[in-house]
Chains A and B, each alone.
Chain A
Amino acid sequence: IAGITQAPTSQILAAGRRMTLRCTQDMRHNAMYWYRQDLGLGLRLIHYSNTAGTTGKGEVPDGYSVSRANTDDFPLTLASAVPSQTSVYFCASSGTEENTGELFFGEGSRLTVL
Chain B
Amino acid sequence: GQNIDQPTEMTATEGAIVQINCTYQTSGFNGLFWYQQHAGEAPTFLSCNVLDGLEEKGRFSSFLSRSKGYSYLLLKELQMKDSASYLCAVLDSNYQLIWGAGTKLIIKP
A-B contact count (CB 8 A): 52
* Residues from 37 to 89 in A contacting B, C-beta threshold 8 Å: 40-45, 48, 58
Point out residues on A near B: beta carbons under 8 Å.
40-45, 48, 58, 90, 98-108
- Which residue in A40, A44, A99, A105 is a CB contact (below 8 Å) of B91? A99
Closest beta carbon of chain A to B31's beta carbon, Å: 5
Quick one: closest A residue to B30, CB to CB?
A101
Interface residues on B, range: 20 to 34
Contact A42 B95, CB 8 Å, known A90-B43, A102-B48, A107-B42: no
Contact A105 B42 (CB under 8 A): yes
Closest to A48 in B: B96
Judge whether B87 is part of the interface by a CB distance below 8 angstroms: yes
**A90 close to B42 (CB less than 8 A):** yes
- B78 at the binding interface (Cβ < 8 Å): no
With an 8 A cutoff between CB atoms, is B18 at the interface? no
